Amino acid sequence: MNIPKHDVLLIGGGGAGLRAAIAASETYRGADIGVVSKVYPMRSHTVSAEGGTAAVMREDDNLDLHAYDTIKGSDFLGDQDVVEAFVKEAIDEVIQLEHWGCPWSRDEDGRVSVRAFGGMSVKRTLYAADKTGFHMLHALFQTSLKYDAITRYDEWFVTSLLVEDGRVCGVTALNIRSGNIHAIGAKSVIICTGGAGKIFPFTTNAAIKNGDGMALAYRIGCPLKDLEFVQYHPTGLPGTGILMTEASRGEGGHLVNSQGERYLSEYVPGKMELGPRDILSRSFIHEQRQGNVFEGPDGSYVHLDLRHLGEKVIDEKLPFVRELTRNYVGIDPVHEPIPVRPVVHYCMGGVHTDINGATPISGLYAAGEAACVSLNGANRLGSNSLTECLVFGARAGQVAAQHAADTDFADSASMAKMAQDEQKRIETQFFGNNGKERVANIRDDLRKTMEEGAGIFRTEDALKTTCDTIRTLKERYENIGIDDHSRVFNTDLVNALELGYMLDVAEGLAHSALLRRESRGSHARSDYEERDDENFLKHSLAYQTDGDPRIDYLPVTLTRWEPEERTY
């Protein structure tokens, strides 16, 4: 029985996945790499990142400063050994990307430019206008085309991880175009599937971000770490959730309430618009409670005012902001303020890995937003995530390739059998029963309960309700029916499978949030308003069980920075 096999198999072809694929193929000659992605890699959500990517590039900056900013931003939940490795390797990684053709914006002398960003004490954010993620992704993807060792499975959707004798030995994947399920063998599998913003109703995230990889790992017993930490970006467009980059504040934009005040002076006087995202998003809610916000058809909002920057700066530094506001809200930021409000943006939590991207399960790795390597702790600083994709994508790729060099493939016949079983499982579950529940209805109900219980401010009661609702939704999911019973490009089926992933991640998230009875970073409990280092200076680990998830804890690694009060 012949099935395709690769030394290292990537799930996901975004920033982290492509960086990992290239790193793996460069680790040893002859390494054979596969990249499975449910979309063509250049469609991956890295493409939507706007503002920039952080690294120490200038004389007024140093590694300790970047590390301290990141650790303080994380509300001291970041693992400090991870942060130290990150800031150090970030520099080579962004230069490597420069060598691969990324069109970074430049100073007159030809050096790459840097801009200010929230929570960063000096300018250290490299950028390509305000389409940094787009340019990074395309540079990585186009560069990846020259590696003959990389085989792509474009528009293949992974439905399960194959496990034999306690180690991951491949995946089953739906070839979306043919409708067939195949086994793909691998010595190492790296999950780079991004976050799960789509479990919330109002998000900057693309349609594809449903926590697929997190759920795949969770289902085979791998813990999901620090899932309760969900970042709201303070400046999304009301209604659509389209991101207005933090660079618009980095370049000098103001946030103004309905009283015409730059209200952040009340909350982050030392940083104002360049405060960290968690605090800025909460400030909005405080202003809302005081009635200092505008009201529109899509709810409350404040103004992001760029007018004083002038047309030239806006066109040079923030052209995408101008394009998006003109297209989607009919507003020209050169002449009018932009309506904005907080919107779900990023999952700090994810698949539990060590500093190299290795999970506790042999043969399984993860990097990027799908992973939780514990760089971002309780709140990520803007522009650290693109760099994280590079640094930890590269690390995971190297370590996974080394593991592959010392490992054998599992038996093809048994993997092929597992793929046949998987095809039967899916046909029975989605085509065989005459379930009455629609994908969209369960999904909408999930998103609603996530916002109600696990939004910007959380309480015991609301979280309990959300946990109960998710349990009910999982029961309803058992009775799902889909309209489309055909094979070729059946997106109805893909959506149904994605919904299963979303429910699993939501369950882990809500239960982790329920048990964290403190406020830290993005996790704000109205009933436990203080940070509680005595009881909660630790990572949560959510394990799937037959009932509610089991939540364990893991100490935070501290090296040189003692936790202190986090004020700006």
Partner 1 sequence: MSDLRTIKITVLRYRPEEEDAPTEQTYDVEFRDDWVVLDALNHIKDHIDGTLSFRWSCRMGVCGSCGMMVNGEPKLTCAAMLRDYYPNEVRVEPLVNFPIVRDLVIDMTDFMDKLKAVKPWIIREEEKPVSEGEYLQTPDQLKDYKQFSQCINCMLCYAACPVYGLEHDFVGPAAIALGHRYNLDSRDEGNQQRQHVIASKEGIWECTYVGECSVVCPKHVDPAEAIQQTKVATTTNRFKSLVMPWGNKK
The set of residues, in sequence order, having a beta carbon less than 8 Å from that of 161 and lying 6+ positions away, is 168, 170, 171, 189, 216, 217, 219, 220, 364
Residue range at the interface with partner 1 (CB under 8 A); choices 22-30, 166-174, 403-411, 434-442: 434-442
- Alpha helices, DSSP H, located in 228-318: 247-250, 277-289, 310-317
> Closest approach of Cβ 28 to partner 1, in Å?
19
Binding of partner 1 by 42 (CB under 8 A):
yes
Q: Looking at residues 439 to 458 of the shown chain, list those that interact with partner 1 (rule: CB under 8 A).
A: 439-440
Binding of partner 1 by 109 (CB under 8 A):
yes
DSSP reduced 3-state for 407 = coil
Q: Looking at residues 164 to 183 of the shown chain, list those that interact with partner 1 (rule: CB under 8 A).
A: 177
Q: Are strands 350-352 and 364-366 parallel, antiparallel or unpaired?
A: unpaired
The set of residues, in sequence order, having a beta carbon less than 8 Å from that of 124 and lying 6+ positions away, is 54, 55, 56, 57, 58, 61, 66, 114, 117, 383
Interface residue with partner 1, options 30, 270, 297, 547 (CB under 8 A) = 297
Interface residue with partner 1, options 53, 70, 125, 143 (CB under 8 A) = 143
Binding of partner 1 by 285 (CB under 8 A):
no
- Tokens coding 315: 């066109």
> Closest approach of Cβ 558 to partner 1, in Å?
31
Binding of partner 1 by 148 (CB under 8 A):
no
Known active-site residue 458: no
Nearer to partner 1, 99 or 289 (CB): 99
> Among 381, 298, 376, 378, which Cα is nearest to 343's?
298
Known active-site residue 249: yes
Binding of partner 1 by 92 (CB under 8 A):
yes
Binding of partner 1 by 413 (CB under 8 A):
no
Q: CB count, 10 Å around CB of 464?
A: 13
- How far apart (Å, rounded) are the C-alpha atoms in residues 274 and 254? 10
- Tokens coding 510: 């809500």
Q: Looking at residues 321 to 340 of the shown chain, list those that interact with partner 1 (rule: CB under 8 A).
A: 323-324, 327-329
* C-alpha separations of 326 from 47, 303, 330 in Å: 20, 16, 4
Q: Where are the beta strands (DSSP E) in 272-369?
A: 294-296, 299-305, 338-347, 350-352, 364-366
> Closest approach of Cβ 281 to partner 1, in Å?
20
Interface residue with partner 1, options 29, 59, 108, 547 (CB under 8 A) = 108
Across 100-124, b (16+ Cβ under 10 Å) vs e yields eebebbeeeeeebbbbbbbbbebbb
Binding of partner 1 by 40 (CB under 8 A):
yes
Binding of partner 1 by 311 (CB under 8 A):
no
Residue 423: exposure state from Cβ atoms within 10 A (0-12, 13-18, ≥19): middle
Interface residue with partner 1, options 142, 420, 433, 526 (CB under 8 A) = 142
> Closest approach of Cβ 280 to partner 1, in Å?
21
Measured at the CA of 388, the angle between CA 38 and CA 169, to 5 degrees, comes to 50
Across 180-197, b (16+ Cβ under 10 Å) vs e yields ebbbbbbbbbbbbbbbbb
Phi, psi of 437 (to 5 degrees): -85, 130
Interface residue with partner 1, options 76, 117, 127, 134 (CB under 8 A) = 134
Q: What type of residue sits at position 406?
A: D
Residue range at the interface with partner 1 (CB under 8 A); choices 258-266, 490-498, 510-518, 545-553: 490-498
Binding of partner 1 by 131 (CB under 8 A):
yes
Binding of partner 1 by 492 (CB under 8 A):
yes
Segment (H or E) for 56: none
Binding of partner 1 by 345 (CB under 8 A):
no
> Closest approach of Cβ 482 to partner 1, in Å?
6
Measured at the CA of 49, the angle between CA 246 and CA 233, to 5 degrees, comes to 45
Q: Tell me which of 138, 249, 341, 352 is the catalytic residue.
A: 249
> Closest approach of Cβ 119 to partner 1, in Å?
25
Residue range at the interface with partner 1 (CB under 8 A); choices 5-13, 69-77, 104-112, 554-562: 104-112
Segment (H or E) for 538: strand 538-543
Q: Where are the beta strands (DSSP E) in 15-103?
A: 33-37, 53-54
> Closest approach of Cβ 441 to partner 1, in Å?
8
Question: Pattern 183-212, binding to partner 1, x per CB under 8 A?
Answer: -----------------------xxx----
> Closest approach of Cβ 43 to partner 1, in Å?
5
- How far apart (Å, rounded) are the C-alpha atoms in residues 512 and 61? 36
Measured at the CA of 391, the angle between CA 387 and CA 396, to 5 degrees, comes to 140
- How far apart (Å, rounded) are the C-alpha atoms in residues 159 and 497? 8
- How far apart (Å, rounded) are the C-alpha atoms in residues 397 and 192? 11
Q: CB count, 10 Å around CB of 526?
A: 11
Binding of partner 1 by 487 (CB under 8 A):
yes
> Closest approach of Cβ 83 to partner 1, in Å?
21
Residue range at the interface with partner 1 (CB under 8 A); choices 78-86, 320-328, 397-405, 509-517: 320-328
Residue range at the interface with partner 1 (CB under 8 A); choices 100-108, 245-253, 271-279, 526-534: 100-108
> Closest approach of Cβ 134 to partner 1, in Å?
6
Q: Tell me which of 138, 182, 233, 341 is the catalytic residue.
A: 233
Binding of partner 1 by 63 (CB under 8 A):
no
- How far apart (Å, rounded) are the C-alpha atoms in residues 229 and 55? 24
Nearer to partner 1, 143 or 387 (CB): 143
Nearer to partner 1, 70 or 105 (CB): 105
Interface residue with partner 1, options 438, 471, 474, 538 (CB under 8 A) = 438
- Residues annotated catalytic, as ranges: 233, 249
Positions touching partner 1 (CB under 8 A) are 39-40, 42-45, 47-48, 92, 95-96, 98-101, 103-112, 131, 134-135, 138, 142-143, 145-146, 154, 177, 206-208, 239-240, 242-243, 297, 320, 323-324, 327-329, 438-440, 482-484, 486-492
